[in-house]
Structure 1
C-alpha cells in the first residue's frame, strides 16, 4: 500500500451536523484503500490535529522505509495540523484545486496548458520549458505560481521514495460516491455501515487477487502493455554493465537498470519502468514486471488485504458496560435546501448533461452549419419543381 494518503472530509446531510474525516491510500491496483476515518464536530484545526495525532500513532513515521506523504485540497486547518503533528511528512496539493485558484486570477487556454505541462513534468527540463512559456505570456501568472513550493504540486520535485506520480485528488472523489446515502444516516448507523462495507471489500479483493497469475496487479499490467508499445520507437545502445543510451527522436536518455533510473525520471517518480527503460529491458530479454517497484506486486497487494475486519453480533448481545452514555451532537438547521452532491466548478459539466449527439445543425443540401434543409436558401422553393426535375426523363446528349 502506498504511503501517499489522501486527506478528505465529508459533511453530513441530515439534521445532526457532523464531519467525516478520512485518510485514504491507493493500493497497488489503483484502488482506494480507506485507512482511517473519524466523526468530528466540524472542520477545524483542532479536529484535524485530533485525527492526525491518532493516525500518526498507528501508521508511524516511516513505513517500510517510505516517507509519509499527504495530499490535500488545502482544507481549513489541515496544513497547520500536518505541520504540527507530522512535521517530517511531505505535503502535496491537489493540482485541480490549485488550478481553480490559478484560473480565477489568470484565465486563458494557453496559461492552462502551461500549468498542466509544468505540473506533470517528470524532469526539470520540461518544467522550465513550460514555465518560461508562461512567463513570456503572463509574467504575473508565472510569479504567482513559482511562489508555491514545487514539491507540493510538480512531479519533477516529488520525493521519489513515495513511488507515486499523482498530481490530483480526482480519484478520491469516488470516496464520496462510495459513502453514498450514508451521509444522511445517524452517526452509529454510519459507522457500522462503513465497517460492513469495508469488511466485504477487503474479503472480495483478497479472493480476486489470489487468482491473479502475473507478478503485478492487473491495472499495472495494462500500463506495462502501453509502455511496451511506446518503447518500440526507442533506439537502444548498450554501453556495458547495466548502462544504456536510448535515443527517442532528437532526445537521448541514460538508463541504468541496476539503479532503476532513467534521465527522464519517470521511473524514479512512479516506480514503473519508463518506455526508455522498457526498451533496454526488452534488449536484455528480461521480464518487464520484475523491474517494477514492490508496491505494485501481487504479494504486496495480498498483504494489504490479508487482514480481516471481524464481524460484530447484534447490540442486544453485547455485555453491559459502565461507560458513560454518549449523547448525539446538537441539532443544527442549515440554511437552504440540503445538498446531496458536491459543489462543482463553473466550467465543470454535470454528470449526464452532455448529449452523445452533436448539437450543431448541418444542412444536408449545402453542407453548411447553422440551419437545416427546410430553411436553406439554396433549397428548392416550396411548390416549384427543382432544376433537375425537368430533365429526369431526357436522354443524355452523346
Structure 2
C-alpha cells in the first residue's frame, strides 16, 4: 500500500511515466531552442503509429565550448536508472584546469551497440576523428583487474595488492619491470594474469604524454554518478531537467570561483606543486649544461636522474606524463633561480579555467510553456525484468566496511554488551 501511495503522489508531482515519454520530442525541441548549438538526438523503435523510446542523447553547447579548454582525456561511465523500465544513463566527463560532464544519454541497455551509437555522436560533436584521435578514453572497467583476480583466485591481498599498485603507479619502465619481478616471486599466477593485460592499460610507465594526466581510475565519472544518484529514480524528463540544472549550477559556481582566484596557477595544481617542492630538500643538482642537470638523492646511492628544462623533461617521466613539474625539475628550477609558473602548461592556468566556464548553460521553461512538436507521441520502452531486488545504495569498497577509531560506528557509539558489559559486541554475539 505504501508503495502504491508513493507512486500516486509522484504522479501528481512529476506526472506519469507514460506522459513524460510522450513529451520527449517537446523536451528536445525546448533544449535546442534555449541552448543554440547544442545536440539532442532521439532514437525510437518504429511501431506503426506508436514509436517506442530507445535512446536520448544530449550535448549542450556550453559543454562543447568547455571541452576546447580541457585536457584531451575523457571518462566514460554508465549507471542503472531506478525507474520501472530498467534503462541506463551513459555519461562522458572531461577534466578542467583545476583537475576536477560533457555529454549524457539514456539508453535501453548498456552494450556494444549503444556505446557505438553514443560514441559516434560524441566524436562528431567534438570535431571528428582528427581531434578525438589525440584523446585518451578511460572506461568504467578500470578497477577490475585486481578485484577480479583476487575474487576469482581467492588470494588474500594486502601484500599482493600493494605490489600491484606500485607497479601500476610507477612512471619508469625499468621500475615497472622490477615490481613485476617482485610480484612473480610472490605469486606466479598473479604475474601470469597481469602480464596478459596490454601495458598501456595498466601502468603509468607506458602512458603517452599527450593527455597531460596521470590518473589511473575513472573517479571523476564516479563522482558525477554519486552526485546524481537521487535523480536516477525520477521520471525521464524530470531526470534530464535535474541533470541540466546541476550542470548549470556547477558552471555558474566554477565561473565565480575562477574570477576570485588570486594566483596564475589553479589551487589544486599549486597544492600538488607544494607537495613536490617538499621533496626537493633531499635532492642535489649537478650542472652539465645551461639547462641540463643531473639530480641525485642525498642518501640513496644510485638514484640519479637527468632534467632538461628546454624539453620540459625529466627521465622519471612524471613531468612529461602529468604536465606538472616533478621534485627533480623543481630542484633544478630552484638551483637556477627560475620561476616555476613559467613551466606550467596552459591547461593548469587561471586564464584557461576562466575560459572553460565562460559559456552559459541556459535553463529551459516549464512543461506548460513548451512548443508542441508535430511528431508522434513516444511510448515507454518495453520492460526489462532484471534479476534480484532493485538496489538504490551504491556498492561499498572493502575499506568502507572497516570501523575503527577514525570511522564512526552505527549511531556514532561503541557497542556495549548487556551481559558482560564489555565493549565491541552485543548480547547476540556474547
1:136 aligns with 2:188: no
Q: Report the TM-score, using the length of structure 2 for normalisation.
A: 0.74
Residues 230-269 of structure 1 mapped to structure 2, 5 A cutoff: 230-248=279-297, 249-250=300-301, 251-269=303-321
RMSD: 2.3
Residues 165-204 of structure 1 mapped to structure 2, 5 A cutoff: 165-204=214-253
1:36 aligns with 2:103: yes
1:177-199 deviations in Å (ceiling 9; x for gaps): 21021010011111111111111
Segments of structure 2 that go 5 or more residues without pairing to the other structure are 1-69, 410-420, 423-430
Structure with max Cα Rg: 1
* Higher normalized helix content (fraction of residues): 2
The answer (yes or no) to whether the contact 2:78–2:140 under 8 Å persists in 1 is: no
The answer (yes or no) to whether the contact 1:3–1:66 under 8 Å persists in 2 is: no
Give the secondary-structure state (helix, strand or coil) at the position aligned to 1:99.
helix
The offset of 1:354, in angstroms, is 4.8
The offset of 1:357, in angstroms, is 7.7
Q: 1:221 maps to what in 2?
A: 270
State how far apart, in whole Å, the 1-side matches of 2:295 and 2:251 are: 42
1:349 aligns with 2:349: no
User: Structure 1 pair 348/203, CA: closer, same or farther in 2 (3 Å)?
Assistant: same
User: Structure 1 pair 132/270, CA: closer, same or farther in 2 (3 Å)?
Assistant: same
Q: 2:176 maps to what in 1?
A: 127
State how far apart, in whole Å, the 1-side matches of 2:363 and 2:407 are: 49
State how far apart, in whole Å, the 2-side matches of 1:185 and 1:293 are: 42
Residues 8-23 of structure 1 mapped to structure 2, 5 A cutoff: 8-23=77-92
Give the one of 185, 188, 209 matched to 2:258: 209
Give the one of 344, 347, 361 matched to 1:295: 347
State how far apart, in whole Å, the 2-side matches of 1:324 and 1:353 are: 55
User: Structure 1 pair 357/180, CA: closer, same or farther in 2 (3 Å)?
Assistant: closer
Deviates more, 1:133-142 or 1:213-222: 133-142
Q: 2:122 maps to what in 1?
A: 55
Q: Report the TM-score, using the length of structure 1 for normalisation.
A: 0.79
Give the secondary-structure state (helix, strand or coil) at the position aligned to 2:400.
coil
- Alignment coverage as a number of residue pairs: 337
User: Structure 1 pair 223/243, CA: closer, same or farther in 2 (3 Å)?
Assistant: same
1:102 aligns with 2:169: no
Q: Which has the higher contact order (CA 8 A, sep 6+)?
A: 2
1:82-123 deviations in Å (ceiling 9; x for gaps): xxxxxxxxxxxx2x3221022222443322121111100100
The answer (yes or no) to whether the contact 2:77–2:222 under 8 Å persists in 1 is: no
Q: 2:95 maps to what in 1?
A: 26
